[in-house]
Chain A
C-alpha cells in the first residue's frame, strides 16, 4: 500500500509545484517544457505506484519499469516490426497517397465542375470509417506490406485532397491580379504563387494523415500479415498474455507516431516560415 500512497503524495506535490511554476513564470520558456514534463513523469510514477501498491496483475496492467525491461530485451523484435509496419507499410503508403492527392488536387483545380463534384464526395469519404476496407485490400494485395501500404494510400488520400484543394483557393484576387499583370502563365502562377500559398493547408492535411497512416498500417495487420509487424505482434502477444511486450509495441507506436508528426511539423516550419502561425510568438 505504501507504494500507492507514496505515488499519490508525489502527485499532489508535483501538482502544487506545477501550479506554482505556472503562476510564477507563466511565459518563461523553460516552464513550457518543465510543467508538461513534470506532469508526464507524475503520470508514470502514479501508474507505477498504483500497480505495485495494489498488486495489480501484470496480465491486466504491467508497471512501467516492467515494460522498460521488456523493451530493452526485445529491441531486435521491435525493430523488425517497426521496419515492417512503419517503414515499409505506413511510410510508402503515406508517400504514394499524399503524392497522388496533391497531383489530383492540382489537376481538378483547373476544372470548377470537377471541384464542385469531387469536393462533396471527398468530404463525405473523409468522414467514413475507411479502415473498413482493410479486409478487402488484404485479400487483393496479399499479406505482406503491399496491402498495408494500399490501405494507407486510401486512408490518407481524401484528407490531403480536401485540404490541398482548399489551399489552392487560398490566394486572393489582388495577388492573382498581380500575377496577371506580370503576364504570368498558368504554370508560373501555380509554382510561384498558388503552391506556396497552399502549403499551410497542405501541411494541415499531411499532419492529420500521419496518424491515419500508422493506424491503417497496424489495423490492416489484424486481417492477415506475415509473421512480423506491430499489429501481428500485438495480437499474438495478447494471446500469450505477454502484456509487457504489447505495451512495448504500443510505446514504439507512440514514439513513431510522435516522431513522424514532429518530422512533418519540422518540415512545415521550414517550408511555411512566412506564415503568421509560424512566426515568433505564434502559437
Chain B
C-alpha cells in the first residue's frame, strides 16, 4: 500500500501540471482578445497571470476549482441553494433509495433464478440484453413522462438509480449463489438439509464476496443514474441540475466544482461499501 503512494502522488502531480498548462493554453485566447479590443499589449507573464483568474474561463485552473468546491461545501449555509452540500444531499438521497430498491430487486430475482430453471432460461438472456440498451440515455425522458402523470420528486430519480444498480447485483448474486461446489451441496444433502436450509446456511454465506463486489459497482452506477436523472430542464436541485445550470450560463467553475463534488461523493460511497465489506467478511470468517 505504502509502496504505491509515491507513484500515485507523482501521477497526480503530473495531472495537475498538465492541467495548469492546458488552462493557460486554452484561456490565453480570451486574454489576447481582450487586450486587442482594449488596444493594449500583454506580456507573457501577465497573460499567464490573467488566465488563472478569469471569471468564466474555458478551463478553470485547479486552484479556482478547489476554491469553488470549498466555497460550495463550506462557504455557504447548508440550506442555501448555492451550497453543494445541499445539492449533494438531494442527489445522495435519490442514489441511496434507488440503490436500496435496485439491490432488493436484484437479490430477489437472483434467488428466483437460482431456484427456478424456467426463470433462469427466460429472464437471464433479457437481463443481459437489457444492459446493452443505453437506458441511461433515456433517463431524462423517463423523468419527464413520470412527471406528466404526477410522479415527481425523489421517486423517478430513484427508479433510474435502481435500474442501474439492479443488474450488477443480479449478475453477481446469481454467480455467488451458484458458487458452492458439488461437494458442499452433496454434504448438505447427506445432512438431509431442506432447500431453505441449503440457501441460508450455504448459498447465502458463500455469495457474500460476490455480493459486495457487485454492490460497489452498483452504488457507483446508482450515483451516475441519479445525476443524469437530474439533467432534464426543470430540475432545480441536485448535482446534475448544478451541472446543467452551469452549462446554460457558462459558469465553468460551477460545473467543475459540481463535477468534483460528485466524484468525491462517489469515492466516499464506494469506500463506505468497501468498509462494510471488510468488516462483515471478517466477522463471517471469509476475509481474504
Contacts and interface: CB of A to CB of B under 8 A. Distances in A.
B246 A253 contact: no
A283 B248 CA distance: 48
B263 A128 contact: yes
B122 A38 contact: yes
Contacts of A120: 4, 8
Interface of B: 3-4, 6-12, 15, 26, 58, 117-118, 120-126, 129, 131-134, 136-138, 140-141, 144-145, 148-149, 216, 220, 223-224, 227-228, 231-232, 239-240, 243-244, 246-247, 250, 252, 255-256, 258-259, 262-263, 266-267, 270
Interface residues of A, number: 62
Contacts of A218: 134, 137-138
B148 A117 contact: no
B3 A32 contact: no
Nearest to A246: B141
B11 to A, nearest CB: 4
A171 interface: no
A258 B129 contact: yes
A60 B149 CA distance: 7
A136 interface: yes
Contacts of A253: 133-134, 137-138
Contacts of B120: 22
Contacts of B144: 238
B134 A135 contact: no
Interface of A: 15, 18-19, 21-23, 26, 31-32, 35-36, 38-40, 59-61, 113-118, 120-121, 124, 127-129, 131-133, 135-136, 138-140, 210-211, 214-215, 218-219, 222-224, 230-231, 234-235, 238, 243, 246, 249-250, 253-254, 257-258, 260-262
A47 to B, nearest CB: 14
A39 B259 CA distance: 41
A19 B244 contact: no
A60 B224 contact: no
Contacts of A214: 134, 137
A234 B255 contact: no
B256 A31 contact: no
Contact of A131 (B121, B220, B224, B255): B224
Given A118-B11, A124-B267, A36 B122 contact: yes
Contacts of A140: 26, 58
B255 A23 contact: no
A30 B26 CA distance: 59
A124 B269 CA distance: 12
A59 B122 contact: no
